[in-house]
Chain A
Amino acid sequence: MPHEISPVSDRANSVVIVGAGIVGMSAAYFLSQAGWRVTVLDQGAPASGATGAADGAVSVASKKAGPLMTLAVAGAQFYQDLCDAGVLDGEFVRRLTYVVATEPNELPVLDRHATQLREAGVTLRALSKAERDQALGSLAPTTRAAIEVQGDGHAIGYKVVERFRRIGGFAVKRNVAVQGLWRQAGKVAGVETEQGIERADAVLVAAGRGSAAFLDVADVIRPRKGQLIITERGEGIVPRFPGPLMSCRYLISKGSQPGGDAPAGRSFGLVIDPLQTGQFLIGGTREDSADGSQTDIEAVRRLLQEAVELVPALARLRVLRVFAGIRAATRDGLPIVGRLSAHENVWIATGFEGDGICLGPLMGRVSQQLISGAHVNVDISALNPARFRAEAAA
């Protein structure tokens, strides 16, 4: 364990967390539970990054086979455990996800994805036309096939963050931008901020896109903008369906399945998410852009067009809001979680792209285990930050 550096000697080990998104705030909670003195610093406010501009699919159904799919299974289970333990009760609901094929060339994609999900231990069933009509009465007749995936859920990122803040027992400082690590006697002893030094025995970088500044390899984290649409409430206008509808194109856009002819720099993958408020969230784009405040009519029209093709009744609603968020994507599509090899007391947990709501609490827990030197009970070897270093050296 890092030794004491502050004149005050009777205190617990301290950790400063850079970033009050879902990952940083989850980690703060678990570290605080484990007896650490935690300070979270954010250049804005809690959930002001990707966490506050996301959908809340805690979804295994959409993941790429491999480490992400396996971790998503554990991530969804961890949400359930936290609910059962009374930590996140009410902030997570289990629900089904439907993956839908509308074009002939999507059928093999759907088949392949179903097989991969089964191999990861996920329960699902292919729906016959009659079953589709029963479960998803509002689908367009052009729908060719659909699978119903079990074990998924929904959680709203900013609400999870707010829950951890309320029950946390740790300090959150808003409007404090961290400029870099602060060293004393050749060792990291805190972070430098515009407002001064924040001392700590350990540092966790959970700054989403802002984490890039803490890595010593360039161009590892890339901004992936996403535009989302929220409709008014649809009661009595659009028949409800029990969980989100994802098009096969969504899997392709997300990179979970190969294919697609999207122009470089921007792809569209349709998700229609029935929110608990009765509203619908319609998403989303994946764009190589860092301009998170901006949305454009071309993208919105295209998403709405696809949504209405799948669920024609949506045309009878109004759009209430359109917004964009920036996902922190990585060069190889996998998150970055682990200790930075250049320092003995600096850890990082970032690069969750479109999966950070699903993985956030679990990765917060993992960060705590790493920092406390405890056993990490999921396999995160594929997420090691050193992989880019090795690549750069090669």
Chain B
Amino acid sequence: MRSMDVLVIGGGPAGVAAAAEMARSGLKVTLCEQGGALGGAIHRQPGNPARAVPVPRAQSARWHKLSALLAKTDAEVLTFHAFIGLDATGAVLVEDRRQGRLLVLRVRALVLAVGGLERVVPRPGWHLPGVVTVGGLQVMMKVTGRGPAGSVLLAGSGPLLLAVAAQMTALGAPPLAILERSRQVLSPLRAAPLLLWPRYLAEAAGYMRRLMQAGVPWRLGSSVQTIRPTDDGRLETVIVDGAGAVSRIVVDKVALHDGLRSNSDGLPPAAHATDRNPHVVLAGDCREALGGVAAIADGRNAAQQVIARLTGAPPMSSASRRIVDTERRAQQALANIFDFGIPDLLKLPDETILCRCEGRTVGALRQMLATDDQPSPREIKLNGRIGMGSCQGRFCVEWAGAMLAQQTCSAQPAGAEFIGNRWPSRPVAIRSLLGPAVADAISSIPPNESD
């Protein structure tokens, strides 16, 4: 048994940086990661190092340093432990997925570093089997060490398309093409601000070199408008290019990606401790999606906030805050050349799926909105079953909010206006909830068991 000051949720760069920093300051820290290993969205690698997915050297060096830092502390790392929620009494609920039991923890501070979300703008056919997200494809490669089988089209917008295409190529499975919706990527005027972040340019240049060698086309201004199943189980994509010309390609898989976003929906909000609740601090991409470098700095920021609140120590250097600010400008520069805007969803055909879990369509929501008497997000949720499915609204809520905003020409409501911030923040097995509840009892597991 071990008493705990701080619980950190999420073993990505933000969570690991936060845990290491707090443990170094003498706080008793436990880090819970739902998966089998630390690393998060960016530093995940297959169990078998022989099959490692190539990543930029600077990136792996950063992670190496960070995990070494954590290993030197007495922070406890629990893998296969998923955060479920913070209940009304201030208890932090964690599901121990291997033992099928529930930890009911009382801690002084809770740092949530559960990562951001990958966006995929709905379009007809995006929900079909064979359509995946680019990030999901990357995770698959990182877990198995293999590229996807069959012909794959990558489409959407953002640097991740390039990174994943290069990784596929390195694994001997290059995509047919990358369709980049933005036309401005190579516009010198727009791209100029990025010169301030040579790291991004060097990374992109490395990816592009590999793609050019393999002859993978990067088509700017092109996008996938519609995806249809073919009789022989493949996918027909309808593509519109920069000049408005329409073409069709039949492929085995389509991977879509429209940027990354923060994800605090369903999480308890950041707040100071009360007589019941611990301090709650959000860190990394879940707070603001700014990429891997910012995530480390933001994790340190969170750590310093917690240290200040728990020990009364004065806030330390503002260096990490400056890094976050710089990275925010870098993301803004990237957003300026890529196209992360939300298209006019009201123009989508009726049958376009909006919510996969509950099978809700654009047409059904459009009908709900076509009234002078504008429903509130909560009514849209209840009557439209938006955010009611097992993904807890991770995918549909942003688009339902966008449609509401487009219909009423008003600001887009926050996800929490639809789904609140109730626990469980993700579905949890009744078996686990009923297993022996382990209150405040965490048996010590050597920190690097999972590495």
Are B429 and A318 touching (Cβ within 8 A)? yes
Question: In the complex the two chains form, is B378's CB within 8 Å of A48's CB?
Answer: yes
Q: Which of chain B's residues have a CB closer than 8 A to the CB of A322?
A: 422-424
In whole Å, how far is A196's beta carbon from the nearest beta carbon of chain B?
20
Supposing A158-B383, A296-B89 touch, asked if A318 and B428 sit within 8 A by C-beta, the answer is yes
Whether a CB of chain B sits under 8 angstroms from the CB of A293 is yes
User: Which residues of A have CB within 8 Å of B430?
Assistant: 231, 304, 308, 314-319
Measured CB to CB, the nearest residue on chain B to A279 is B388
Task: Let me know if B378 and A52 touch, CB within 8 A.
Answer: yes
Determine the residue in chain B with the shortest Cβ distance to A52: B382
Write the chain B residue with the least CB distance to A230.
B388
A46 touches B424 (CB 8 A): no
A167 within 8 Å of B by Cβ?
Answer: no
- Shortest distance between the CB of A19 and any CB in chain B (Å): 15
Whether B422 pairs with A300 at a CB distance below 8 angstroms is no
Residues of A within 8 A of B382 (CB): 47, 52, 158-159, 162
Q: B434 to A297, Cβ gap below 8 A?
A: no
Q: CA separation between A323 and B388, bound complex, in Å? A: 12
A298 to B423, alpha carbons, bound, how many Å?
Answer: 13
Docked-complex contact A162 and B427, CB < 8 angstroms: no
Within 8 A of B (CB), among A304-352: 304-305, 308, 314-323
Contact of B428 with A297 in the complex, beta carbons under 8 Å: no
Q: Which residues of A contact B89 (CB under 8 A)?
A: 296-298
Q: Are A45 and B437 in contact (CB under 8 A)?
A: no
Give the CA-CA distance A158 to B383 in the complex, in Å. Answer: 7
User: Does A294 make an interface contact (CB < 8 A)?
Assistant: yes
- B173 CB → nearest A CB, Å: 34
Q: How far in angstroms is the closest Cβ of chain A from B367? A: 11
Q: Mark B367-403, 1 if CB is under 8 A from A, else 0.
A: 0000001011011001100001010100000000000
Bound CA–CA A323/B428 (angstroms): 15
B165 in the interface (beta carbon within 8 A): no
Bound complex: CA A238 to CA B38 (Å)? 36
Query: Considering the chains assembled together, what is the distance between the CA atoms of A159 and B431 in angstroms?
Result: 32
Using CB atoms, name the residue of chain B closest to A166.
B371
Q: Are B433 and A291 in contact (CB under 8 A)?
A: no
CA A44 – CA B428 in complex, angstroms?
Answer: 31
Q: Is A183 an interface residue (CB 8 A)?
A: no
CB of B87 within 8 Å of the partner chain: yes
Tally inter-chain residue pairs, CB-CB below 8 A. Answer: 90
Interface centre among B87, B427, B433 (most CB of A within 10 A): B433
What B residues does A321 contact at CB under 8 A?
388, 422, 424
CB closest chain-B residue, reference A298: B89
**Interchain CB contact under 8 A, B433 and A300:** yes
Q: Which residues, 413 to 437 on B, are CB-close (under 8 Å) to A?
A: 420, 422-424, 427-431, 433-434, 437
Q: In angstroms, how far is the closest chain A Cβ from the Cβ of B359?
A: 11
Q: Assess whether B19 is interfacial by the CB under 8 Å rule.
A: no
Q: Is there a chain A Cβ closer than 8 Å to B88's Cβ?
A: yes
Q: Interface range on chain A: under 10, 10 to 19, 20 to 34, or 35 or more?
A: 35 or more
| B104 interfacial contact with A, CB 8 Å | yes
Q: Does B251 contact A (CB under 8 A)?
A: no
Interface string of A270-300 (1 = CB under 8 A from B): 0000000000000000000001011111101
Q: Which residues does chain A contribute within 8 Å of B383, judged by CB atoms?
A: 158-159, 162
Q: Residue B41 at the A interface, CB < 8 A? A: no
| A45–B379 touching, CB < 8 Å | yes
Q: Across the interface, do B373 and A295 meet the contact criterion of CB distance under 8 Å? A: no
**CB of B312, distance to nearest CB on chain A (Å):** 30
> Which chain A residues (328-379) contact chain B, with CB distance < 8 Å?
none
Say which residue of B91, B376, B420, B424 sits within 8 Å of A319 (CB atoms): B424
Residues of A within 8 Å of B390, CB to CB, are 232, 318, 320
Distance, CA A358 to CA B437, complexed state (A): 37
Q: Give bound CA distance, A321 to B422, whole Å.
A: 8
Question: Complex: how many Å from CA A162 to CA B379?
Answer: 9
Bound-state CA distance A44–B91 (Å) is 29
Task: Tell me if B302 counts as interface (CB < 8 A to partner A).
Answer: no
A165 interface contact, C-beta 8 A: yes
Q: Is A172 an interface residue (CB 8 A)?
A: yes
Contact among B422, B429, B431, B437 for A323, CB-based, below 8 A: B422
Q: Kindly state whether residue B4 has any CB partner on chain A within 8 Å.
A: no
B378–A301 touching, CB < 8 Å: no
A317: chain B residues within 8 A (beta carbon): 429-430
CB pair B434–A47 under 8 Å, yes or no, is no
| Interface: B53 (CB within 8 A) | no
Residue of B nearest to A305 (CB): B434
Provide the bound-state CA to CA distance between A217 and B428, in Å.
45
Q: Give the nearest-CB partner of A163 in chain B.
A: B383
Interface residue? A387 (CB, 8 A): no
Contacts of B422 in A (CB 8 A): 295, 321-323
Q: Is A125 an interface residue (CB 8 A)?
A: no
B434 touches A315 (CB 8 A): yes
Taking CB atoms, residues of chain B closer than 8 Å to A48 are 376, 378
Q: What CA separation (Å) do A308 and B93 show in the bound complex?
A: 21
Q: With A and B bound together, what is the CA distance between A159 and B379 in angstroms? A: 10
User: Do residues B88 and A294 form an inter-chain contact, with CB atoms below 8 A?
Assistant: yes
Query: How far does the alpha carbon of A320 sit from the alpha carbon of B379 in the complex, in Å?
Result: 19
Give the contacting residue for B431; candidates A52, A297, A316; CB below 8 A. A316
Q: A315 CA to B298 CA in the complex, in Å?
A: 40
In the complex, A159→B102 CA distance in Å? 35
Query: In angstroms, how far is the closest chain A Cβ from the Cβ of B93?
Result: 6
Decide yes or no whether A118 CB sits under 8 A from chain B: no
Query: What's the nearest-Cβ distance from chain A to residue B229, in Å?
Result: 24
CB contacts under 8 Å to A, within B339-388, are 373, 375-376, 378-379, 382-383, 388
Tell me, yes or no, whether A174 is within 8 Å of chain B by CB: yes
Asked whether A46 and B379 contact (CB < 8 A) given A295-B422, A316-B431, the answer is yes
Minimum CB–CB distance for A51 against chain B, Å? 10
Nearest B residue to A294 via CB reads: B88
Interface string of A41-75 (1 = CB under 8 A from B): 00011111000100000000000000000000000
A231–B376 alpha-carbon span in the complex (Å): 25
Contact: B427 with A296, CB < 8 Å? no
In whole angstroms, what is the CA distance A10 to B102 when docked?
A: 66
> Chain B nearest CB: distance from A287 CB in Å?
11
Whole-angstrom distance between the alpha carbons of A47 and B381 in the complex? 12
Contact, CB under 8 Å: B379 / A297: no
Closest to B376 in A: A45
Residue among B87, B88, B424 having the largest count of chain A Cβ atoms under 10 Å: B88
Q: Is the CB of A315 within 8 A of B431?
A: yes
Bound together, the chains give a CA A10 to CA B199 distance in angstroms of 74
CA–CA, A159 to B384, complex, Å?
10
Within 8 Å by CB of A291, from B88, B104, B424, lies B88
Chain B residues near A316: list those with CB within 8 A: 430-431
User: For B431, what are the chain A residues with a Cβ–Cβ distance below 8 Å?
Assistant: 315-316
Which of B378, B382, B430 lies at the interface centre, i.e. has the most chain A CB atoms within 10 A of its CB?
B430
Does the CB pair A293–B427 fall under 8 Å? Answer: no
Which residues does chain A contribute within 8 Å of B424, judged by CB atoms? 319-322
A319 to chain B, nearest CB (A): 5
Residues of A within 8 A of B (CB): 44-48, 52, 158-159, 162, 165, 171-172, 174, 231-232, 291, 293-298, 300-301, 304-305, 308, 314-323
Q: Closest 7 CB pairs between A and B?
A: A294-B88, A45-B376, A318-B427, A296-B88, A158-B382, A296-B87, A297-B87
16 residue pairs bridging A and B, Cβ less than 8 Å apart: A44-B378, A45-B379, A48-B378, A158-B382, A158-B383, A232-B427, A294-B88, A296-B91, A297-B104, A298-B89, A315-B431, A316-B431, A317-B429, A319-B433, A321-B422, A323-B422
